[in-house]
Amino acid sequence: MSTGNFSDSQPEQTAPVGQLPQINVLTMLRLGLFQLGLGMMSVLLTGLLNRVMIRELGVPATIASVVLAVTLFVSPARVWFGQQSDRKPLWGRLHRTSYVLVGVVCFAILAFIAVQVMWQVGAASRAQGWGPTTYAWTAVLAATFGLYGIALSASSTPFATLLVDVTDEDDRSKLVGIDWAMLTGGIAVGAIFIKVLLTRLEADPSLSLLQDSVNRVFVIVPLVVVGLAVIATWGVEQKYSRFAQRLGETNPSQLITLDRAWKILTASPQTRFFFAFLLAFTLGLFLQDAVLEPYGGEVFKMPAGDTAILNSFFGGGALLGILGAGFWLAPRIGKRPTAQLGCQLVILSLVLIISAGFTGNPKFLQWAMLVFGLSSGIGTTGAVTLMLDLTAAETAGTFIGAWGLSQALARGLATVFGGVFLDLGKQLTTNLVIAYGLVFAIQATSMLGAIALLTRVNVQEFQSNAKAAIAAVIQSDRD
């Protein structure tokens, strides 16, 4: 796809930073529409396609989860796109907006293409079983999802950088809070959107009806997301960006590569403990990513629209958890106790999700997902705010960049392992509740490990020892 002429020129120097207008709340909310759209797209992949592949098309859960996880395994591409948006604005002036919009259009198109390839995987498996043709189509599907993930990186990373460009320190935390809330809200909105568009589907629809309905969803929702991205970013960079005035502040040491991230994550005992906690925490949150909707379909006999709406319960609970923990709980009991409480509540919610399977009651599952979302929001808020304490101002960009990259890769592993454990459970027993329960039980065990690791994290020790170790890593990379 043509992206126009690349230019090495930088935006014109205009006014000093102090004379640029401050971003207002209305513009912050408008920028949040982009994250709302990303939340909607995430439900399409992990709230609908995973269900269709495993339940309706009979794709083994391991294969389906690997295919979906490819979107996360290409996350190192975000480093390159972040650097490109710094150095090469598209169409003359726009360092961020042009990358955002090109990326959005590309991943919207690729999402529809991925669905068409998915139907070919299903057709090949029905006609020939899992032979060379089916595996070839599966490889094409994985490659398509890889391109989707790259397009997502091309839009989301420059957008995140745009949030920094258009704000000063005083109003940045407010914008980030709105950004998080809109992303979580997008999950709930996307689930409701899918439910409405799939109202014709029963628990076991015909293949032609399924294809027509899902294709319709993958035309309408991506178009809405593209529209939201245009509304969110239109004119914002030109009016508010401080990028031109901050060019002198750019520090090459902030560029994150896999090698640099690994060195930082292992720079001291405290960084190792904290990132081991984050790995266990990520597995404890996302091991169910690829199997939850199939669980609703196979165990509860819920139609595709109803299993997608489970994400609405999760998203609503997560939003309440983030807001409640951020504004009330963490300031009162502390950041580490907040993270610990969130982990404990996640374990409780996973017990409820397993218990719901034995009742076969969809309402029970919905309420369990609400508790799971609430618990996840509390735990995530505690973990993220604790992470901000476990860094130094001079290395914040590097440290947080390393965390973001490692968390994305860990989530990809969690998605794959969820599918692997489900297939293992199905081989061990014909009882679907127990087979799916194995995934949720391992997820709870991972969260127990996260709690144990969290007790080893010591902010004071980090402040006295780990800062110097991280600084030494960065200095050695400069030399």
For residue 311, being part of any structural domain is answered with yes
- Residue 252 pLDDT: 46
- pLDDT exceeding 70 applies to what percent of the chain? 82
Residue 194 lies in a domain: yes
Task: Record the tokens describing residue 42, joined without a space.
Answer: 């995430």
- Same-domain check for residues 208 and 329: no
Q: What is the pTM of this model?
A: 0.83
Domain with 259, as residue range(s), is 253-479
* Greatest mean pLDDT among 8-17, 142-151, 242-251: 142-151
Give 394's contacts (C-beta < 8 A, 6+ positions apart): 471
* Range from 49-63, 203-217, 237-251 carrying the lowest mean pLDDT: 237-251
Task: Report the pLDDT averaged over residues 239-253.
Answer: 62
What residues contact 205, with CB distance under 8 A and at least 6 apart?
Answer: 56, 213, 303, 304
**pLDDT digits over 331-386, tens only?**
899 889 999 999 999 999 999 999 999 999 999 999 999 999 999 999 988 888 78
Domain boundary among the residues 214, 243, 272 is at 243
Are residues 222 and 333 part of one domain?
A: no
Domain contains 360:
yes
196 lies in the same domain as 289: no
262, 402: one domain = yes
Please check whether residues 177 and 273 belong to one and the same domain.
Answer: no
Tokens standing for residue 14: 């205009």
Contact (Cβ atoms closer than 8 angstroms) between residue 23 and residue 238: no
pLDDT of residue 70: 95
pLDDT given at position 278 = 86
Return the higher-pLDDT residue of 326 and 465: 326
pLDDT band, residue 40 (cuts 50/70/90): very high
Confidence band of 222 (pLDDT split at 50, 70, 90): very high
Are both 302 and 438 inside the same structural domain? yes
For the chain, how many structural domains are there in total?
2
Confirm whether 248 is domain-assigned.
Answer: no
Instruction: Give the per-residue SS3 of the chain.
Output: CCCCCECCCCCCCCCCHHHCCCCCHHHHHHHHHHHHHHHHHHHHHHHHHHHHHHHHCCCCHHHHHHHHHHHHHCCCHHHHHHHHHHHCCECCCECCHHHHHHHHHHHHHHHHHHHHHHHHHHHHHHHHCCCHHHHHHHHHHHHHHHHHHHHHHHHHHHHHHHHHHCCCHHHHHHHHHHHHHHHHHHHHHHHHHHHHHCCCCCCCCCHHHHHHHHHHHHHHHHHHHHHHHHHHHCCHHHHHCCCHHHHHHCCHHHCCCHHHHHHHHCCCHHHHHHHHHHHHHHHHHHCCCCCHHHHHHHCCCCCHHHHHCHHHHHHHHHHHHHHHHHHHHHHHHCHHHHHHHHHHHHHHHHHHHHHHHHHCCHHHHHHHHHHHHHHHHHHHHHHHHHHHHCCCHHHHHHHHHHHHHHHHHHHHHHHHHHHHHHHHHHHHCCCHHHHHHHHHHHHHHHHHHHHHHHCCCCHHHHHHHHHHHHHHHHHHHHC
pLDDT surpassing 60 at residue 17: no
- Look at residue 86 and tell me if it is in a domain: yes
Q: How far apart are CA 302 and CA 193, in angstroms?
A: 17
CATH code, 209: 1.20.1250
Encode pLDDT of 385-406 as tens digits: 787 676 555 455 556 666 677 7
Tell me the pLDDT band of 15, cut-offs 50, 70 and 90. Answer: very low
9 or 132: which carries more pLDDT confidence? 132
Residue 268's pLDDT is 72
Is position 5 within any domain? no
User: Do 270 and 239 have their domain in common?
Assistant: no
In a domain, 185, yes or no: yes
The residue ranking higher by pLDDT, 5 or 151, is 151
pLDDT of 426 higher than 80: yes
Can you tell me the mean pLDDT for 117-128?
95
Do 277 and 225 share a structural domain? no
pLDDT value of position 145: 97
Given 215, 243, 271, the domain boundary residue is 243
Mean pLDDT of 152-159: 89
Q: Out of 217, 243, 269, pick the residue that ends a domain.
A: 243
Highest mean pLDDT among 111-115, 231-235, 391-395: 111-115
Q: From the centroid of its chain, how far is CA 374? A: 17
Q: Using CA atoms in the order 404, 406, 411, 415, what is the torsion angle rounded to 10 degrees?
A: 150
Asked whether residue 105 falls in the same domain as residue 218, the answer is: yes
**285 in the same domain as 222:** no
Residues 353 and 212 in one domain: no
Q: Is residue 325 part of a domain?
A: yes
Instruction: Give the pLDDT of residue 359.
Output: 96
Q: Looking at per-residue confidence, does 77 or 5 come out higher?
A: 77
* Alpha-carbon gap, residue 64 to 70, rounded angstroms: 10
The torsion angles phi and psi of 141, rounded to 5 degrees, stand at -65, -45
Assess whether pLDDT exceeds 90 at residue 247. Answer: no
Q: At 476, which CATH number?
A: 1.20.1250.20
At residue 5, does pLDDT exceed 60?
no
pLDDT in tens, 294-329: 999 999 999 988 998 999 999 999 989 988 888 889
Angle of CA points 297, 191, 25, to nearest 5°: 160
Amino acid 399: pLDDT? 61
Surface-to-core class of residue 392, CB atoms within 10 Å of its CB (0-12 exposed, 13-18 middle, 19+ buried): middle
Verify that 274 and 190 share a domain, yes or no: no
On average, the pLDDT of the chain sits at 84
The mean pLDDT of 415-443, rounded to a whole number, is 96
